[in-house]
Amino acid sequence: MVKFRSMSQDSVSAPTFSPLYRQIKTLILQGLEAGEWRPGELIPSETELALRFNVSQGTVRKAIDEMAAESLLVRRQGKGTYVASHTDAGPREAFRFLRLVAETGATETLQSVPLECWRAKAGHEAARTLGIAFGAPIIIVRRLLKFSGKPVVIEEIYLPGELFGGLDLEMLQAYQGQGSFYSLLETRFGVRMLRAEERIRAVAADPVNAKLLEVAQGTPLLSVERVSHTYGDRPVEWRQSLYSTATHYYSNELS
């Protein structure tokens, strides 16, 4: 392996300096991206990777440390390092990106009810958000999330058609209870959501959504707009959700 131990700062704009462990991180990332190791699988041991990349074990360790901090990998002492997955088991593990919590700390069942799934062409906003051409095919999913049987979230999900060709209502229904939506995208389409940004606002319930969420029309709801990204920070999901916050709240940690 060729090591670029440093980069000179001769040029005007500064590429600055890239430590070895970041180069290793990039190499591991490429392996993940190329599907060399699939979600949930074990990656080679640190010593093995160190041999392969011809660096010390400590350097591999630091690369993996960063990736574990970003939830790309999961370390398990005594066993090895695994590729992070949205299909992990554990009720709260499975919905990694869902920050809704019951007012009463009670444990709840969470059920996803697919309502519709149709094909469309990307409008200006969807095209811009997803980084695809205006008019490019997209898939729109509409679904309801029920906490302990009560409807709490209604959402519309916009996906680039190019990546999720075969997705339809039937598939969504068939996947019921087998895992989260992202778990489906991961296992059926090989697209992994690594990071997401959310924009939260307060809006009034319109008649249609009010009925679905079983609240009065005009009830204040949380509007959560999410853009999820896969490798290379490529946006691959745009989602507009409405959260009913009568019995639940959006939980966030600051530091």
The verdict on 57 binding DNA (CB under 7 A) reads yes
Radius of gyration of the chain measured on its C-alpha atoms: 21
* Least distance between DNA and beta carbon 41 (Å): 12
* Least distance between its own copies and beta carbon 219 (Å): 8
* Least distance between DNA and beta carbon 30 (Å): 17
CB atoms within 10 A of CB 165: 12
- Looking at the Cβ atoms of 56 and 245, the one nearer to its own copies is 245
For residue 196, the partner it binds in DNA, its own copies, none, with Cβ less than 5 to 8 A by kind, is its own copies
The verdict on 13 binding DNA (CB under 7 A) reads no
- The CA-atom distances, in angstroms, between 223 and each of 146, 209, 210, 228 are 17, 12, 13, 16
Written as six digits, the tokens of 10 are: 């001769």
For residue 34, the partner it binds in DNA, its own copies, none, with Cβ less than 5 to 8 A by kind, is none
Site map for DNA, 74-93, x if CB under 7 A?
A: -xxxxxxx------------
For residue 70, the partner it binds in its own copies, DNA, none, with Cβ less than 5 to 8 A by kind, is its own copies
Give the Cα separation of 4 and 1 in Å (integer).
10
Give the Cα separation of 67 and 223 in Å (integer).
31
Q: CB of 137 within 8 A of CB of 162?
A: yes
The verdict on 16 binding DNA (CB under 7 A) reads yes
